[in-house]
Amino acid sequence: MKKITNFFIIYCFTTSLIFAQHTSKKISTAAINVGILKKEFIIPNLNTISHKIWVYLPPNYTETSKKYPVIYMHDAQNLFNNTTSYIGEWEVDETLNNLFEKTGKGFIVVAVENGGNERINEYTPWRNKKYGGGKGVIYIDFIVNTLKPYVDAHYRTKKQAKYTSLIGSSLGGLISYYGGLKYPKTFGKIGALSTSFWFSNKVIDFTKKYGTTSKIKLYLYVGGKEGDSMDSDTKNMKNLLIATGFPSKNITVSINLQGKHNETAWKNEFLKVVSWLYNK
């Protein structure tokens, strides 16, 4: 796999910065059914950062006793609120509210804020000689063993893997891909957008090992204007998965020829991801 261009490295670092300097000029765009847990989480052996957790609840959550599928996501700062986003939000709340209005189908979204300058460490399962990282295993284990049990205990969730998804972009796409293949009994559906497969060639052996028996649904997305080898890496990973025995009907690759490596592209793709993963 070719090395990524400087643009993507810059993106990885700049999106990890604390966004307080932007808040004075932006007005909150988060919907009223989005909140931040009072409880924060310090993840042992990862870093000493207290991670905030954002939670989106379906519009009718308080009016019913229904249980809901749960979507776990990363980079919470960029998903719901223009105030905290770096270069625009995904509009996850508006998108799912609109979907609910049209179909009556609701979801819970649980999103972990990245750790600022520790983002690369958190979202990469393996080290890169130049850029470091490699603590993503700890981060995913936290979601599986600590965060999900907490969410299941405090919210009306459908706990089974077939109702639970993990979605992210860039390095967040890489850690979502890793988490899905490593823990298919926890995450049955994965959305990996603009995935940074370039970060480590170890992803190849990992895919060969865990793709063989995995029965998850996997949505891969890439933009045509993302730079060196992003589209070919994504297509090659799909082919490798199928070669290992991964069911071809459980994987799709979406390509937007005009798509760039940014929140606008991922915002525009998000509804397609959810719709395909959950057959909506």
pLDDT at position 26? 63
CA-based R_g, the chain, Å: 17
Q: For the residues 239-259, what does the mean pLDDT come to?
A: 96
Burial of residue 171 (CB within 10 Å: 0-12, 13-18, 19+) is buried
Give yes or no for residue 6 having a pLDDT over 80. no
Answer with the residue of higher pLDDT: 228 or 84.
Answer: 84
pLDDT at 260: 95
**pLDDT at residue 12 tops 50:** no
C-alpha dihedral, 14 to 140 to 223 to 266, nearest 10°: -70
Helix ranges (H only) for 124-229 are 136-142, 148-154, 171-182, 202-210
What pLDDT does residue 212 have? Answer: 85
Q: What is the pLDDT of residues 86-140, one digit of tens each?
A: 888 999 999 999 999 999 999 999 999 999 999 999 999 999 999 999 999 999 9
Place 22 in a pLDDT band, splitting at 50, 70 and 90.
very low
Predicted local distance difference test score (pLDDT) of residue 222: 97
Question: 144-184: per-residue pLDDT in tens?
Answer: 999 999 999 999 999 999 999 999 999 999 999 999 999 99
- Give the chain's domains with CATH numbers: 6-277 (3.40.50.1820)
Question: What per-residue confidence (pLDDT) applies to 11?
Answer: 44
User: Given this model, what pLDDT does residue 72 score?
Assistant: 99
Spell out where the chain has E strands.
Answer: 34-36, 41-42, 50-51, 53-56, 70-73, 108-112, 164-169, 189-193, 217-223, 251-256
